[in-house]
Amino acid sequence: MPDYEARVAELGLDVPDYTTVPYLGLKYGSMKSHHVSGDLLFLSGHVPDQADDTPLHPGRLGGEVTVEQGYQAARLTAVNCLATIRLALGSLNRVNALVRSLNFVVVAPGFVDVNLVANGATDLFRDVFGEQAGLGGRATIGVACLAHNHCFENWLTVEIAGT
Amino acid sequence: MPDYEARVAELGLDVPDYTTVPYLGLKYGSMKSHHVSGDLLFLSGHVPDQADDTPLHPGRLGGEVTVEQGYQAARLTAVNCLATIRLALGSLNRVNALVRSLNFVVVAPGFVDVNLVANGATDLFRDVFGEQAGLGGRATIGVACLAHNHCFENWLTVEIAGT
Amino acid sequence: MPDYEARVAELGLDVPDYTTVPYLGLKYGSMKSHHVSGDLLFLSGHVPDQADDTPLHPGRLGGEVTVEQGYQAARLTAVNCLATIRLALGSLNRVNALVRSLNFVVVAPGFVDVNLVANGATDLFRDVFGEQAGLGGRATIGVACLAHNHCFENWLTVEIAGT
């Protein structure tokens, strides 16, 4: 059995504990962090909220935010997703595979390299869950804005390992 | 068993009857209103179409449309979703839980409070289906436009109660 | 049993062979083309990539791209989806029904007829799979940009026929 929890420790990732500090999306409105139906775990949108409740690198790609900053924001978003997966399933080791993610990047006019930003999230997932389980389907979209001026958001679906 | 139909009556919601007036999305192009697969009901995008076939509060948030108007448009969108859920399942009482929704808000440059608009839809779902079944996962995105100049659209997945 | 492979031949569609030329999305970043979970096939985003690796009709609707060009780009996108469905399932004949698609159209300010563009994809699906299986749920969104300056992308879910 793959040990994704050990891999997270090995990578030194600082995954929030949503059993003590709630999933930050709850401050945005009426929603919950995730829903499990059968073998599928459907996450709410996740954003690069930091522990101090501020966005990492707010703004627009091609404007105030560089590709490298956007990549880091997407990477933090993926770490926050790990927190919700752990909350939902008890352990990352219960993940069978990522199904797919929809990735939103806020852009200024003229910027099109949204895929390079989304890699910050999907590279992290690959590094944690490996080439087989950690590469899901993906789409990435340049959008006009996100709540709280976040520059990135993703919307993830995960397949749960059979019991 | 929860009686969501009674709750809709109690709230005085005017839910369209899509068995007599078809789901309005069909005028937009080649699609159907929903698809059921296993325990999951996947809805098409729903918009704030009114009974007279015109959009409620067309335009852009941060432009022609206020946050309160956007909230009302999102609320009407959720009511239209109830119509499709009823069409698909025969009764709202067959809903087990909302899985999640993706919410699209049309914005003018500088507007970012898209989450406040989406609450119009997700608050209505909570009011009908309650805190347990009615709060799904959620993501909300600021977009450049929607068909017919609508200011809001959502894309909903629902879990059907076991028989 | 419906013979969708015969229908594709009848329509003269030139479907890429992704067993020899990989799904073009792989050049965009860390992802895979699709994921199968139970009876559901979840595709990655597909775009109007041509055989020579260039986008068909790049740019914005209401700008450099006409509605008819956008329609053709969406149609090519749907043909590329057929390639991934065939790769995933071995044959198009294993499709039970389209579940739904999310369609992204890049727009210049003032353009709203995104539904007319998305029809290029959903009309093609209807022509291949028929009125029953080929009309899925749908939503269509006007977005700010897509990678490689593509004008269209879709994100498709398919239901697999029972064995």
B103-125 pLDDT, tens per residue?
999 999 999 999 999 999 999 99
* Structure-derived torsion over alpha carbons of residues B80, B81, B87, B91, reported in degrees to the nearest 10: -110
**Contact between residue A46 and residue A77 where contact means Cβ atoms under 8 Å apart:** yes
Residues β-bridged to residue A95: A160
Q: Residues of C with CB below 8 A from B30's CB? A: 119, 122-123, 125-126, 135, 138
Contact assessment for residue C126 and residue B29, using Cβ atoms and an 8 Å cutoff: no
- Taking alpha carbons only, the member of B113, C148, B118 closest to residue A145 is B113
Type and span of the H or E element at C83: helix C67-89
> With an 8 Å Cβ cutoff, are C139 and B155 in contact?
yes
3-state secondary structure of A33: coil
Residue of C nearest to A135 (CA): C31
Subunits with 3+ C-beta pairs closer than 8 A to B:
A, C
Does the CA dihedral B91-B96-B102-B107 come out positive or negative?
Answer: positive
Arithmetic mean of pLDDT, B36-59 = 96
pLDDT greater than 90 at residue A21? no
User: What residues contact C151, with CB distance under 8 A and at least 6 apart?
Assistant: C48, C55, C57, C58, C59, C60, C61, C65, C69, C70, C73, C105, C106, C117
User: Of the ranges A19-28, B130-139, C114-123, which one carries the lowest mean pLDDT score?
Assistant: A19-28
List of E strands, B4-88: 34-37, 40-43
Which residue type, as a one-letter code, is found at position A28?
Y
Print burial letters for C110-122: b (CB count within 10 Å at least 16), e (below 16): ebbbbbbbbbbbb
State how far residue C133 is from chain A, nearest Cα, in angstroms.
23
Q: pLDDT digit string (tens) for B116-152?
A: 999 999 999 999 999 999 999 999 999 999 999 999 9
The model's pLDDT over C23-41, given as tens digits with 9 standing for 90+, comes to 777 788 999 999 999 999 9
So what's the ipTM on this one? 0.96
What the block records as the tokens of B84 is: 């499709």
pLDDT tens, C65-104?
Answer: 999 999 999 999 999 999 999 999 999 999 999 999 999 9
Min Cα separation A80/chain C (Å):
19
Is residue C1's pLDDT more than 90? no
Nearest to B29 among C40, C118, C141 (CB): C118
Residue with tokens 């079944």: B133
Cβ–Cβ contact C39 with B under 8 A: yes
The nearest alpha carbon in chain C to A41 belongs to: C37
Is this model's pTM higher than 0.95 or not?
yes
Does pLDDT of B160 surpass 80? yes
Phi then psi for C83, rounded to 5 degrees? -60, -40
| Residues of C with Cβ-Cβ distance to A111 under 8 angstroms | 145
| CB contact residues (below 8 A), chain A span 111-140, against chain C | 111-116, 118-119, 122-123, 125-126, 135-140
